[in-house]
Amino acid sequence: MSLLSAARPRSTPAQAARAFLLALLALAAPAMAEPESAGSAYRIGVDDRIQVSVWRNPELSITVPVRPDGMVSVPLLGDVRAGGRLPEEVAADIEEQLKAYLREPKVAVILVELRSHEYISRVRVTGAVRQPVSIPYRQGMTVLDAVLAAGGLTEFASANRTRLYRKREGEADTFDIRLDSILKRGDLETNLDVQPGDIITVPERVL
């Protein structure tokens, strides 16, 4: 043994595990950047691809899509719920279950492909428009932008009875949109900025 190798301090198992998890989180940073920029922690969605890494047990490490039922199949454990949960919650669940098979398991769950995020962040326009659409949200988008993307109104639209629906903490907020005033008089008071997940509905006139 050389003097150099003899002088080099050996890392403890706990230090090695910490270094492993930090390296995995560094790899995950690019994938996590988009949802976190929206101001809230990203919850795993159906069809997202996740990587489950079990320290020192590569045979238990997998990269899989989340099934329509929100589950993923993990070696030794079978089905584990991933949909609707934070990556760290899924990792903690898998760690707890693996304790029946491994001593002090260390698990990291990484989002490697955000397939569901596109649908969560869309804006939808329905009702008396030329072409009902589901369009990707863009920063600065307004109600008028979304309606124009739907081809504008039909001749049967009751534009000033337009509603914007926004889900917030399990409840739906409703905003009155005077779309006729926006289009014909340039009154932008109700030309609200939209948010991801908003639904704009234009009703038809009552004949």
Which among 97, 118, 139 is the end of a domain?
Answer: 118
Domains: count for the chain: 2
> Which residue range forms the structural domain that includes residue 165?
121-202
Give residues with Cβ within 8 angstroms of 150, minimum separation 6: 125, 129, 130, 131, 132, 133
81 membership: H or E segment, kind and range:
strand 78-81
Q: pLDDT tens, 129-158?
A: 999 999 988 889 999 999 999 999 999 999
Using the 3D structure, point to which of 64, 95, 118 is the last residue of a domain: 118
Which backbone phi and psi does 46 adopt, to 5 degrees?
A: -60, 135
Distance CA 83, CA 135 (A): 23
In a domain, residue 35? The reply is: yes
Structure-block tokens of residue 118? 């596109």
Closest CA to 194 of 124, 120, 132: 124
> Looking at 94, 118, 142, which one is the last position of a domain?
118
Provide the 3-class DSSP secondary structure of residue 175.
strand
Count Cα atoms within 13 angstroms, Cβ side, for 131. Answer: 8
- Residue 61 CA to residue 57 CA, distance in Å, equals 7
Residues 112 and 25 in one domain: yes
DSSP secondary structure letters along 134-160:
EEE--TT-BHHHHHHHTT-B-TTB-GG
Q: pLDDT tens string for the chain (207 positions)?
A: 443 344 445 556 556 555 555 445 444 443 333 444 333 578 898 888 999 999 999 999 999 999 988 999 999 999 999 999 999 999 999 999 999 999 999 999 999 988 776 677 789 999 999 999 999 888 899 999 999 999 999 999 999 999 999 987 767 899 999 999 999 999 999 999 999 889 999 999 876
Q: How far apart are CA 158 and CA 175, in angstroms?
A: 15
